[in-house]
């Protein structure tokens, strides 16, 4: 009888061990895994507001980047701008961009940005009326000083042409923020 009890005890102990370990193993498999991809994504962009006596300029430009490592990031952005000069023109500008960021050291950020914008201008009748609709491509090369999530710098549009009706100058300052 003692031998049967010992055998039953061992069998039940082994069965209990396998049941308990498979339950624990099964529960650990059920837990949701946090996405490693999203850990490397940062969101940011720009917002511009300018209101004057005769002009209005509103720009919204959200973007997202993926950090491949501490030195290289790349991402996408979209942009919409509304520009109005009283008694002269209204303009709607919208499009997208591809951006690559290089951080050779923590404080320095180099950037390349390819931007494609659709421009829709409507002119006041006092200036001939009508409209001017076209695509504008810009390729910006930039450099800036970076501290935490903010970079302050300047960029240069190497495809800039005088009179392209989008940017008044090939050189422009920027403030870039990513969270």
Domain ranges of the chain: 1-31, 37-178
| Residue entry with tokens 């950020």 | 109
pTM of the shown model: 0.75
Tokens of 78: 């979209």
Q: What is the C-alpha separation between 141 and 112, in angstroms, rounded?
A: 5
Eight-state DSSP code of residue 124: -
Tokens of 153: 């710098």
Cross-strand bridge partners of residue 9: none
- Give the domain 37-178 fold: Porin (2.40.160)
How many CB atoms within 10 Å of residue 142?
Answer: 22
**Per-residue pLDDT tens listing for the chain (179 residues):** 555 545 555 555 555 555 544 444 444 555 666 679 999 999 998 888 888 888 899 999 999 999 999 999 999 999 999 999 988 889 999 999 999 999 999 999 999 999 999 999 999 888 788 998 999 999 999 999 999 999 999 999 999 988 777 888 999 999 999 99
């Amino acid at each position: 009888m003692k031998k049967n009890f010992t055998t039953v005890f061992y069998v039940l102990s082994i069965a209990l061990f396998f049941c308990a370990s498979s339950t624990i193993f099964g529960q650990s498999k059920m837990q949701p895994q946090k996405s490693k991809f999203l850990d490397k994504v940062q969101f940011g962009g720009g917002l511009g507001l300018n209101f004057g006596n005769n002009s209005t300029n509103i720009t919204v430009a959200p973007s997202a980047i993926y950090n491949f490592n501490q030195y290289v990031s790349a991402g996408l952005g979209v942009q919409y701008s509304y520009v109005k000069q009283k008694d002269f023109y209204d303009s709607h500008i919208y499009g997208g961009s591809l951006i690559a960021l290089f951080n050779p050291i923590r404080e320095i950020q180099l950037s390349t940005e390819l931007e494609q914008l659709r421009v829709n201008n409507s002119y006041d009748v006092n200036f001939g009326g009508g409209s001017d609709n076209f695509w504008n491509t810009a390729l910006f090369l930039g450099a800036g000083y970076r501290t935490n999530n903010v970079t302050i710098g300047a960029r240069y549009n190497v495809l800039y042409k005088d009179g392209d009706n989008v940017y008044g100058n090939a050189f422009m300052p920027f403030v870039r923020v990513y969270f």
